[in-house]
Amino acid sequence: MGFGAARPAAKPTMLVGFVGPSAEAEKAREAGAEIVMVDARPPGMVTRFLGGANDVHPDAEKLRATAADLPAGVLASPDVEGVKLLKNAKLDFLAFESDHTPAAALLDEDLGYVLVLPPSPEELFLRSLDPLNLEALFLDHLPSPLTVSRQIELTRIARLASKPIIARVPGNISSEDLQCLRAAGVIVVVVEAAADVTKVKEVVASLPVRKPKRDEARPVVALPRGTAPAEEHEDDDE
C-alpha cells in the first residue's frame, strides 16, 4: 500500500440555503446552509408601503449572530429606517418586492439588494434593472412542473437581467430539476425547512459535472454528391 495525495473534493455547482422563519435559522446553519434568509413579510401583505424596523425583523442583530459568518439577509419591504436597521445589524442583503418597497430604501450602497421576481416579468422590465445595482434575483415560486417552456423563461430572465437567480425549491426536489435550474442560471437554491438543507445538499453534490460548452466552430455541412459543379480540366494535349 502506498500513500498519495488525496484528490480534492469537487466543489458544488450550486449553493444551498434556507429561507423561512427566524426560529429555524440556527437549525438551518447547523444543517449546513450556505446562506440564510429570514422571511419577515407579514401574512396577507397587500400592495402598500410598509413601515419601518418592525416590518423588517424584530431582532436583526440576533439574526446576524445566528448566521455567524454566513451570508444573511431579510426578505421584506422596509422603508429607509428599516434598511438602516439591517445595515447597523451588519446583515448582508435585503430581498425586496418592487411593488411594496419605497424607492428611497435602495439608496444605501453598503447593503446588497435582491429583487423578488414578479410573475412573468416583461423584457423592458428586466432590461431596466441595471441602475438598481442588484446582487441577484429571487424566484419565490418555482414553476411546477418545470417544463421546457418554463426553463426557457428562466433562462430568458437571467440573460436579459444579467443577474444570477436564487430560487426557493421544495425539499424533495429531484436531481433532474436541479440540473435544469442550474442550466437556466440558478446559482443558489433555498429550502423552507432546516431538515431539508442536508438532503438537498446531497442531491446537489451528486449532480453530474457541467459539460464544457461546444466550440463556436460549427461542423462543415457536406453537400450531397452530384450537386457540386464539375471541375473543368485542361486537355492533356495542351
pLDDT computed for residue 111 by the predictor: 92
Contact in structure between 112 and 95 (CB atoms under 8 Å): no
16 beta partners: 189
Q: Provide the residue-wise pLDDT of the chain in tens; the chain has 238 residues.
A: 444 445 455 577 899 999 988 888 899 999 999 999 988 876 644 333 344 445 555 567 788 888 888 999 999 888 888 888 888 889 999 999 998 889 999 998 889 999 999 888 999 999 999 888 899 999 998 888 889 999 999 999 999 998 999 999 999 999 999 999 999 999 999 999 999 999 999 999 999 887 665 544 444 444 444 444 545 555 555 5
Tell me whether the omega of the peptide bond preceding residue 145 falls within 30 degrees of 0, making it cis.
yes
CA dihedral 104, 107, 108, 109 (to 10 degrees): 160
C-alpha closest to that of 86 among 103, 68, 108 = 108
CB neighbour burial string for 86-102, b if at least 16 within 10 angstroms, e if fewer: beebebbbbbbbbebbb
Tell me the H-state helices in 96-194.
123-127, 148-161, 175-184
Instruction: Fill in the amino acid letter for 2.
Output: G
pLDDT computed for residue 79 by the predictor: 84
- As assigned by CATH, the class of the 15-205 domain is alpha beta
C-alpha closest to that of 101 among 160, 63, 45, 38 = 45
pLDDT computed for residue 234 by the predictor: 53
Domain regions of the chain by residue span:
15-205
Q: E strands of the chain, at which residues?
A: 15-20, 36-39, 72-75, 93-96, 112-116, 136-139, 165-168, 186-191
Residues 6+ apart with CB under 8 A from 5: none
